[in-house]
Amino acid sequence: MTVGFVTNPNHAQHAVPEHPEGPERLEAVLQLLTESGLLDRLSRIEPRDAADGELASVHRGDYVDALRRACREGGGWADPDTYIASGSCDAAWLAAGACLAATDAVLSNEVRSAFCAVRPPGHHARPAQAMGFCLLNNVAVAARYARRHGIERVAIVDIDVHHGNGTQDAFYDDPSVLYVSTHQYPFYPGTGRASETGSGEAAGTNVNIPLPAGCGDGQYRAAFEQIVEPVVRRFRPQLLLVSCGFDAHYAETIAGMSLSVDGYGALAARLQSLADELCDGRSVFVLEGGYDLDAIAWCARRVIEVLLGDEPTPDPLGPAPYASLNIDALLAELRGIQGL
């Protein structure tokens, strides 16, 4: 199984001291992949900058101009959580372009699937607003790029602990892109209600699975079996994109979920199985959140092992605390909303 891998080597230009979304996140991932020997087994994809015309498929031109101006002027803060450094535009443009390069490699059959180890993350970035540590919406730009290159239906599955409000905004009225999100709710950014299902011809193509804090491997497995997999199968995508946030791991202090490394591996296996069944294997996994350095590194390693078809390496972080939450009523409500 040929698996592609791309990163943006200039990512450390996007940094301010003592911020949870810092260069050490990606460095931890790259270090573990190198030490394990997995990096040598991946097909390296050369990143490139995203072109302004490619960004314009998602982001307004005045917003892109404002980002550039902020970088030229030395940076600042887009909101209390989201910084812009003088080198942030260089890092963000290459992160988005790296995801486009990975999408190209998958669509041209150079690789079956790809993992994009990039930052800054993207799924909170709205068409004209940076927020939630995100400047450009990497997955949304990749989805629109695929559409312009002959893919009629794209599915995005978001497994970050936070709802990807920026991705939802980008495709809320677009019936050609299915957006499915599992996320802690209520939680930042406040969006992601089950009733947010899309508008106009896109009604039903925005699928939110708002989970209560404390959900772990079992609850996520049930959500995938009862909601995620049926709606993706019904949509019949030709490409699967994954907003792969690892901040639902139980070690994270920034959130309150209880997934384990094994649990993330099981989700990745289910997603790649869907890609194999529906998309000729075509999938692109894009790094989003994850702020505990051990958890993000081991979760990324496990996802790549799944894509390679390897037996899983024992998880040094161990199993998650048992989550006894019963979400049957929630899943029944969601099945009703989605007509499942």
Q: Return d(Cα 147, Cα 52) in angstroms, integer.
A: 17
Q: Return d(Cα 211, Cα 224) in angstroms, integer.
A: 12
Is residue 123 annotated as a catalytic residue, yes or no? no
**Beta 283-287 vs 206-211: how paired, if at all?**
unpaired
Q: Two tokens at 157? A: 């599955």
Q: Two tokens at 103? A: 């999408």
Burial class (CB in 10 A: 0-12, 13-18, 19+), 65: exposed
Please pick, among 11, 14, 124, 249, the residue that the annotation labels catalytic. Answer: 124
Fill in the amino acid letter for 122: G
The crossing angle, in degrees rounded to 10, of helices 61-72 and 88-107 is 130
For the chain, the farthest-separated pair of C-alpha atoms sits apart, in whole angstroms, at 52
Query: What H or E segment, with its residue span, contains residue 155?
Result: strand 154-158
Q: Which positions are catalytic?
A: 124
